[in-house]
Structure 1
Amino acid sequence: MSPLHKPNTLRCSSLLSHAAGMTLRRPRKRVVVPEPTLTPEQQRRSAEIEQELQLARDLQQGLLLEAAPRLRGWELTAVSLPARDLGGDLYDFLDLGAGIQGIMIGDVSGKGLSAALRMAVARTVFRHEARRADQPGPTLAEVNRGVLREIPQGMVTMLYLLLDTAHGVLRMANAGHIFPLFINGSVSEVELSGLPLGVDGDVDYEEASAILNPGDTVLLYTDGVLEAENSVGEIYTYERLAALIEANTQLKPRAIVSLLLRELRAWSGGIQGDDITMVVLRRRLTDLAAELRSVTVDVLGSERANAFWEEQVILSSAAPAATWIAALPDLLKAAQARFGRGLARELNQQLRLALEDYR
């Protein structure tokens, strides 16, 4: 990644973020309290609340279930896991034409059905304004005015990126959201500040730019990642996240998401207190053979993949995609014999997805 914008010294500009108070939180032990006996009226109210939460979950998932788009020369993965109490996480993708892809992630204040409804409104306003402007800063300024008009009682954090898929240029603006994480052999943040949407109607949003080189990755995420709590009330923190990614910078988007979800489940004991949303973008390598090898490492793991690659792959690194496709059946037959049908099937799917970008 080649940064074109010199960041400031803040990590997270969000008024909704708890970063400023992290050091003041005292670890607390979880106490198991016996379930009280509910009166009929309490049972009725509890059922109503659960029904409302389920309605909110259905609404949220209905908005988020769109698959990440296929971008030639890029890998893009997104996941959103709602907590039981349901927050207001959202993400979106927009094809703006001429090879420009819009990528957005955000978080609406509140919980439950009200948060889900605000999320739906925020996403609608965003989509309307993003198609009218070709710069992330002015887009967020218009979305901010729309949020103030349509959601007067709620705030929204939002990070908006415009990707030039042909040249790797990424332009971004931030309305109070957690900073994006850039991964290119090391880990760094683009520290770009801005007020959350819905706070002040007269706000301009600063922009930053960067060039993503082949192999570079960007991780966008919500505060449910950093604020996951363990059994004594300690939150996960940015420092732990950065250290984990720093030790695994070679991973591709799907593997990054899987690693983080496993880590957060282990940290929290499987108890999820807030929505967890991640969007991961990576630019594929220009060397086809190197990219296919990285796919094999991603599916099989480094040690097994490297040994398998040295034994099975005899094609020249300059071989075209069509030659690799013709060689896949023998390669996958050997993978199935060694690693089983499941891994061979996954390897086949991921190799073919990669090869499509080089044809």
Structure 2
Amino acid sequence: MPTALVVAEPGKPASSAVLELDGALRQEGFEVQRVVPDDLVLRHPHPDLLLISAALGLQRMALVSQRFLVDGRMPTIVAFPDDDLAALEECVRGGFDFVTRPFLPSLLRSRANTCWERSQLSTTVEEMAALASLREYERELRIARDIQAGFLPESMPLLDGWELAASFRPARQVAGDFYDVFTLVNGRKLALVVADVCDKGVGAALFMALIRTLLRHTAEHTGLVQDLGDDTAVALNGTAGDTALPLLSLGAGPLIQAVVGTNRYMARNHLKQAYFATMFFGVLDPWSGDLVYINGGHNPPIVVHADGRQTLLPPTGPAVGILADSSYTLGHVRLGPGDALFAYTDGVVEARNAAHSLYGTARLQEVLAATGPHAQDLLAAVDTAVRGFVGTAEQSDDITTLAVTRNLA
């Protein structure tokens, strides 16, 4: 039996309109209950037909209707005049269906069916519009993902005596992580970048594209170290005396200008958007194995030496894009035969399992220590270990890894 709930003003006997409506509904086979607004859900949680007195006013009628919203669905809602046609007019202008006296049983049933059909049609149209909007959003995300994929290197440079590999696994369709590998100084140096823009999703992906473009364009169009200005605010760490000259003669110039220039541009032009990036940017001399780098607030890359030792390359300056006058220090490490460099974003060490435990740096170092000296093997071992640790838990952050290994002589 269909159910109908008649909601009227509290504190007074039922009006003639309410009594007439009650009788007509019962003649049409409805189970009818009359309630006041404060006793709605307790008396009848989800009726088929909800008739509300217009005397309650448009605002109260809307509030009463919302109390019956369950899983995005509502019963058929109809306003009726309780001897106040002006109040009914206000409710009709507010978008509610209505019935008027005389409340004849057959006419009331027909009117209720019409209101129900209109409600269903409106719901269907809204669902179709929402589905179309969702499909358009998904299409835009696919386009954004394809564009973002175009910012990543299609292939790794081939260097005699070296192996390079990278992996990119976003938490969503688009990401704030990125990596880049490209040659500098007429192919004599190799730039290695791993970066993580704060946050995830479309906004982070837009800034990822901007920062990656600024870094690469500046590095590729910067000359030797003598092109640097007096206000570069970069010191050299780990080398002294004459040994500093070969390091600064070629690779350091593009590195310094790219990081400092990008930092200044971001801090001066996009501070309101509050996006910044942590990054590791290294320039490798494939002939000597010397690597000069700037670590801007990023997770320390790990150098796995041929003898089993591990060296972490900690930050040499703050994240890029926070303060325009940030200072950076150049770091230096030499990769010998059998050594490996592993750089990554925080999605690796901050991966969480179902118990909300962090994967952590210690586990990562154990995996690297137990893996052979091949770049692709390192990536595969870390990926397998992280996936096994996370298990059924959802990937919470973008994961990007980069490995560079020097073959044994």
| TM-score of the pair, normalised by structure 1 | 0.65
Question: 1:61 matched to which residue of 2?
Answer: 149
Q: How does 1:1-359 map to 2 (within 5 A)?
A: 40=127, 43=131, 46-84=134-172, 86-96=174-184, 97=186, 99-131=188-220, 132=222, 134-135=251-252, 136-149=255-268, 151-152=270-271, 153=273, 154-184=275-305, 185-248=308-371, 250-269=372-391, 271-286=394-409
CA contact (8 A) 1:83 1:275 kept: yes
Cα deviation for residue 187 of structure 1 reads 2.3
Q: Distance in 1 between matches of 2:278 and 2:147?
A: 19
CA contact (8 A) 2:268 2:324 kept: no
Instruction: State the AA in 2 paired with 1:83.
Output: A
Q: Secondary structure at the match of 2:180?
A: strand
Instruction: State the AA in 2 paired with 1:239.
Output: A
Deviation string 1:167-210 (CA, Å, 9 cap, x unpaired) is 11110011111111010113230223311111000122101111
Q: Secondary structure at the match of 1:213?
A: coil
Deviation string 1:122-181 (CA, Å, 9 cap, x unpaired) is 111001211215413343111211223454321011211010111111100111111110
CA contact (8 A) 1:102 1:161 kept: yes
Q: Secondary structure at the match of 1:173?
A: strand
Q: Secondary structure at the match of 2:300?
A: coil
Cα deviation for residue 226 of structure 1 reads 1.0
Q: Secondary structure at the match of 1:91?
A: strand
Point out which structure has higher relative CO (alpha carbons under 8 A, 6+ apart): 1
Deviation string 1:265-309 (CA, Å, 9 cap, x unpaired) is 1112263222111110011111xxxxxxxxxxxxxxxxxxxxxxx
Q: Distance in 2 between matches of 1:236 and 1:106?
A: 20
Question: 2:32 matched to which residue of 1?
Answer: none
CA contact (8 A) 1:75 1:284 kept: yes
* Cα 1:63–1:150 shift into 2, 3 Å: farther
Cα deviation for residue 71 of structure 1 reads 1.2
Cα deviation for residue 241 of structure 1 reads 0.8
Instruction: State the AA in 2 paired with 1:208.
Output: G
Question: 1:323 matched to which residue of 2?
Answer: none
Structure 1 residue runs of 5 or longer lacking an equivalent are 1-35, 287-359
RMSD: 2.2
Rg comparison, structure with higher value: 2
CA contact (8 A) 2:337 2:408 kept: yes
Cα deviation for residue 59 of structure 1 reads 2.1
Structure 2 residue runs of 5 or longer lacking an equivalent are 1-70, 74-125, 224-250
Cα deviation for residue 48 of structure 1 reads 4.9
Q: Distance in 1 between matches of 2:130 and 2:201?
A: 19
Question: 1:18 matched to which residue of 2?
Answer: none
Deviation string 1:62-121 (CA, Å, 9 cap, x unpaired) is 211421111121111111112225431111122112521111110112322222111111
Identity of aligned residues (%): 34
Q: Secondary structure at the match of 1:206?
A: strand
* Cα 1:65–1:72 shift into 2, 3 Å: same
Q: Secondary structure at the match of 2:267?
A: helix
* Cα 1:272–1:138 shift into 2, 3 Å: same
| TM-score of the pair, normalised by structure 2 | 0.57
